[in-house]
């Protein structure tokens, strides 16, 4: 009976073995990186979606006030005063408060645009939050977005509804055509420069602050 030949064990090439293991490690690292990036992208998209929804809410409240006239009971509600002050900043404050995102805690009414009184102004408020974009006439790195608070050099303010190319669309309080009572009204400008824009406040800072859980009160020390 002929002898059976023993199967010859092929020696595995060490180089191929090391290469295979290295490839497996690389694939694992790539999968891990994409998993992390995917999670980050989903979180970013979610945050942007939330902010879009909240900005839409600001516009909804603002447009709901269209037509209220200077000196009306509604305008006195904006200002909280019995006299008749300039009320464009009060209108912005009221809209933000009634959208659920007050500009500041406590006294939520900010009475001025960029100068005086001691009770505060919109420009300084947004600067203190790192959320103010100055406009110098050059192309802005980031255009104002719907819901942002636009500031004009004539000490006037409003809320951005959209940008369409160079055109700026707003809704403003204490605004109107010459010879007619001022009111809450939509306004269109051919460009930021033509509108006399000095800058704008990014309301993301206000929205995110309003979304933060209230910090627990400090317990008295024994």
Structure tokens at 55: 């900005």
Q: In 3D, which of 165, 158, 142 has the Cα closest to residue 197?
A: 158
Question: Does this model's pTM top 0.85?
Answer: no
Whose tokens are 């497996």? That residue is: 24
Per domain, the residue ranges of the chain are: 50-210
The C-alpha atoms of residue 118 and residue 99 are separated, in whole angstroms, by: 25
Q: Mean pLDDT for each consecutive 10-residue tract of the chain (222 residues)?
A: 55 53 55 43 39 93 98 97 95 98 95 81 96 88 93 97 96 92 97 96 93 51 40
Give alpha helix (H) positions in 64-146.
73-79, 88-99, 122-128
Integer CA distances (angstroms), 15 to 18, 20, 24, 105, in order:
5, 9, 14, 68
Whose tokens are 């929804």? That residue is: 53
Q: 94 in the Ramachandran plot: left (φ > 0), alpha (ψ -120 to 50) or beta? A: alpha
The pLDDT, as a whole number, for residue 58 is 97
DSSP state of 87: -
8 A C-beta contact, residue 103 and residue 123 = no
Q: What backbone phi and psi angles, to 5 degrees, belong to 36?
A: -65, -45
Q: Report how far Cα 61 is from the mean position of its chain's Cα atoms.
A: 16
Fold of 50-210: endopeptidase fold (from Nostoc punctiforme) (3.90.1720)
**123-170 pLDDT tens trace:** 999 999 999 999 988 777 789 999 999 999 999 999 999 999 999 999
Q: What backbone phi and psi angles, to 5 degrees, belong to 16?
A: -65, -40
Give 43's strand partners: none
The pLDDT, as a whole number, for residue 128 is 94
Q: 11 in the Ramachandran plot: left (φ > 0), alpha (ψ -120 to 50) or beta? A: beta
The pLDDT, as a whole number, for residue 30 is 43
Structure tokens at 19: 């290469």
């Amino acid at each position: 009976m002929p002898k059976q030949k023993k199967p010859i064990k092929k020696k595995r090439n060490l180089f191929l073995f090391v290469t295979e293991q290295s490839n497996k490690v690389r694939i694992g690292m790539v999968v891990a990186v994409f998993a992390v990036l995917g999670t980050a992208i989903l979180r970013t998209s979610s945050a942007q979606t939330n902010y879009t929804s909240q900005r839409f809410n600001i516009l909804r409240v603002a447009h709901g006030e269209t037509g209220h006239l200077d000196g009306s009971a509604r305008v006195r509600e904006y200002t909280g005063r019995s006299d008749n002050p300039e009320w464009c900043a009060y209108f912005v404050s009221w809209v933000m408060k009634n959208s659920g995102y007050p500009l500041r805690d406590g006294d939520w009414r900010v009475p001025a645009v960029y100068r005086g009184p001691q009770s505060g102004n919109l420009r300084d408020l947004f600067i203190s939050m790192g959320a103010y974009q100055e406009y110098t006439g050059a192309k802005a790195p980031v255009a104002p977005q719907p819901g942002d608070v636009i500031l004009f050099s004539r000490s006037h303010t409003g809320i951005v509804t959209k940008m369409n190319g160079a055109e700026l669309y707003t809704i403003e309080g204490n605004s109107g055509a010459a010879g007619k009572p001022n009111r809450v009204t939509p306004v269109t400008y051919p460009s930021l420069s033509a509108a006399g824009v000095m800058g704008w406040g990014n309301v993301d800072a206000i929205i995110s602050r309003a979304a933060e859980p209230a910090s627990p009160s400090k317990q008295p020390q024994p």
